[in-house]
Amino acid sequence: MAAAAQRFREFRMPDVGEGLTEAEILKWLVQPGDTVSDGQVVVEVETAKAAVELPIPFDGRVREIHVPEGTTVDVGSPIITVDTDPAAGDDGGDGAVPAAEAGAGEKREPVLVGYGVSAGATRRRPRKAVPAPAAAVSVPEPEPEPEPEPEPAATVPAPAAGDGARPLAKPPVRKLAKDLGVDLTAVVPTGPGGVITRDDVRSAAEPAPASRAQAPVPAAAVADEPPSDAARERREPIKGVRRVMAQAMVESAFTAPHATEFVTVDVTRTVRLVERLKADEDLAGLRVNVLLIVAKAFLLAIRRNPEVNAYWDEANQEIVHKDYVNLGIAAATPRGLVVPNIKDAGSKTLPELARALGDLVTTAREGRTTPADMRGGTVTITNIGVFGIDTGTPILNPGESAILALGAVREKPWVHKGRVKPRHVTTLGLSFDHRLIDGALGSRVLADVAAILEHPRRLLSWG
């Protein structure tokens, strides 16, 4: 039995981030019967922070997939079983003993897999290994007329000897059913092997939509009355990246006292610099735009005002000063807003910063941002100008001290050298934690960024 346990190995949902408790199965890349090798990616999952590819940690042949696509599973739950020694024989194909081959002196019992019972996964146990008293043999268990169980009694666990008496469900699903007041014996399972899933419990807890349509409705009323508001609404579960973003914004908005300042600046020289840099051989093939210069200007302003790069540690009643800058870039993706950061951005040259920005944006758009990419940010830039927005009041990322909003760059009439001329103009907004940064410090940082964008040669003289 121990050898069989070592042969059929379960791969359980790992914690791919700090403190994550569950993930959603997005796509299986293998099927039962496929051969897998150590390090091969077998499934794509979405956590509360990012989409992640999971590699299998051993060789073998896929025996069973426990969790279907679109299902949320808890960290630590088994998601796939692999036969690590397929050459030893199948014992019935899927690891179970076929009923036709089971001997008269053998008894089949389910094999517990992780939190639940895997249907079809069985093992043989000789009846003689469990001697029964003679009296027990003379009284067959299911042969007498079974007393029908009344509905209220279904909540009482049946004896383990009864076939199918206990619904198959994992502990988190059982807890959900208890919280919602759902009787698991009345739930129709849709999971693999007859396992009850979270969605099954939620469906059983919701009133059946058909109950509202049972009453006959006159044809004239159907023709005359407009559809109800409920019929024109769509509901979407709050999960994954969107849920963690919402929680982070609420935590930040009601924990750190925000203050925001704005400045409108002539960035005509910066726009011209960008055009020249695009032709520079050192930046060939890299992403060169106004955001790159804004990022460099923000990093330089932080170097000139290092007190802005800090963290308010409420638990320890300390201010943590940081001698490094991990620059976050807010990116809108199909899964929601993510804020990966460039590690040690303050120490990078302009070409290195351009390459890092390009990689960050590409990875985010493709949904490949990892939780590690989003940890440890110190300040952030959000480029709302790409949506044609002039300005805004951004909310801090939890644990960060400041966030700079870059508005749209527009050609406007502007007083330049005593004359009104068309110039490229943008508005910057800086939100900061007012516990750490007072108005004077915040103003100096914002003024330094604006001064560099107006006269980008300061990148050299101040750097």
Q: Give pLDDT tens digits for 307-360.
A: 999 999 988 999 999 999 999 999 888 777 889 999 999 999 999 999 999 999
Residues 6 or more apart in contact with residue 193 via CB below 8 angstroms? 117, 118, 119, 120, 121, 168
> Is 169-205 CATH 3.40.190.80?
no
Q: How far is CA 50 from CA 22, 171, 239, 240, 277, in A?
A: 12, 26, 11, 7, 33
Q: Which two tokens stand for residue 395?
A: 């909310």
Quick one: pLDDT at residue 22?
81
Q: 60, 87 in Cβ contact below 8 A?
A: no
| Catalytic residue status for 321 | no
Task: Taking residues 92-110, report their average pLDDT.
Answer: 37
Report H helices in 91-156: 134-138
CB neighbours of residue 155 within 10 Å: 11
Q: Which two tokens stand for residue 171?
A: 């502990």
Decide whether 2-137 matches 240-461 in CATH topology: no
Selecting among 66, 258, 416, 434, the annotated active-site residue is 434
* Residues 102-154: tens digit of each pLDDT: 333 333 333 333 323 333 333 333 333 444 433 333 334 444 444 444 444 33
Indicate left, alpha or beta for 33 from its phi (over 0: left) and psi (-120 to 50: alpha).
left
Kindly give the pairing relationship between strand 8-12 and strand 78-83. Answer: antiparallel
Quick one: pLDDT at residue 334?
74
Tell me the backbone φ, ψ of residue 19, rounded to 5 degrees.
80, 5
Q: Which amino acid is at 88?
A: A
What is d(CA 140, CA 150) in angstroms, rounded to the nearest whole number? 22
Architecture of domain 240-461: 2-Layer Sandwich (3.30)
What is d(CA 197, CA 204) in angstroms, rounded to the nearest whole number? 11
Quick one: pLDDT at residue 158?
38
Global pTM? 0.58
Q: 395, 260 in Cβ contact below 8 A?
A: no
* Spans of all domains in the chain: 2-137, 169-205, 240-461
* Residues 411-459: tens digit of each pLDDT: 999 999 999 999 999 999 999 999 999 999 999 999 999 999 999 999 9
> Is 2-137 CATH 2.60.40.1510?
no
Quick one: pLDDT at residue 91?
52
Q: 384, 407 in Cβ contact below 8 A?
A: yes
Q: Which amino acid is at 392?
A: G
What is d(CA 343, CA 361) in angstroms, rounded to the nearest whole number? 14
**Helix/strand/coil for 121:** strand
Question: By C-alpha distance, which of 443, 458, 450, 459 is closest to 267?
Answer: 450
Percent of the chain scoring above 70 in pLDDT: 75
